[in-house]
Amino acid sequence: MTETGRKVEVIEKRTVFQGYHRVDAYRLRHSLYQGGMGAEIRREVIERGHAVLVLPYDHMRDEVVLIEQFRMGPFARGDQPWCLEVVAGIIEDGEELEDVVRREAREEAGIELSQITYVLDCYTSPGTLNECISIYCAHTDASVAAGTHGIASEGEDIKVIVMSFDKVMAALADGHIKAAPAIVAIQWLALHRDEIRQRWLV
């Protein structure tokens, strides 16, 4: 029984692939809007763990710290594979979300954070992934953000890119930023920028 009172009946769940990600196959039935239970359906879910994402913003300089790295998804589609994104990382068992945010900011961008502000939780692709991302916005000193970072043993090669808020919004408008979680975080900042700049001055 879910929070809405509707039901999901799992008939079978089994792991059909275990590699960089895990794929679980389900046979299930669920409640119908018109009442009763639907017919059995089969679905696969990519299990990749849950993540945190942070948009580092320097409210004094009105600048955003983005990162750029190679991504398999766009490459496999035949698209430009170096993506403008924001700092993110997978949550390990027992970790506090803000601790992950701070760690990933150091590892991926070489920056420190303060004024860590919770934004929202979102599913990146709820029809296929069980991943839920917790999004934050935090203050950083953009004047010292530069260089390339990442953990070489994990294949990371991450470039730091500092952009004015106006240039970030222009990059969003012209399609240079295509990663959905980054778009969500930037749009949130656009809606709350004045409030954030006032709050973080305290």
CATH number at residue 78: 3.90.79.10
Query: Is residue 3 assigned to a domain?
Result: no
Q: What is the pTM of this model?
A: 0.89
- Domain count along the chain: 2
pLDDT score of 152 = 85
| Among candidate residues 25, 22, 5, the one with its CA nearest the CA of residue 13 | 25
Q: Are residues 19 and 73 in the same domain?
A: no
Q: Are residues 38 and 106 in the same domain?
A: no
Query: Is residue 14 assigned to a domain?
Result: yes
Q: Please say if 154 is a catalytic residue.
A: yes
pLDDT score of 156 = 87
The C-alpha atoms of residue 86 and residue 161 are separated, in whole angstroms, by: 10
The C-alpha atoms of residue 177 and residue 14 are separated, in whole angstroms, by: 36
Beta strands of 78-176 (E only): which ranges?
82-85, 87-90, 114-123, 132-139, 148-149, 158-164
* Residue range(s) defining the domain that contains residue 28: 8-47
Query: Is residue 68 assigned to a domain?
Result: yes
Residue-by-residue pLDDT tens, the chain, 202 positions: 555 689 999 999 999 999 988 999 999 999 999 999 999 999 999 988 889 999 999 999 999 999 999 999 999 999 999 999 999 999 988 889 999 999 999 999 999 999 999 999 999 889 999 999 999 999 999 999 999 998 888 888 999 999 999 999 999 999 999 999 999 999 999 999 999 999 997 5
pLDDT score of 29 = 97
Residue 41 tokens read as 């359906």
Query: Is residue 165 assigned to a domain?
Result: yes
Query: Is residue 1 assigned to a domain?
Result: no
Q: Of residues 44, 68, 92, 154, which has the active-site annotation? A: 154
pLDDT score of 121 = 96
Q: Are residues 35 and 111 in the same domain?
A: no
pLDDT score of 111 = 97
pLDDT score of 139 = 97
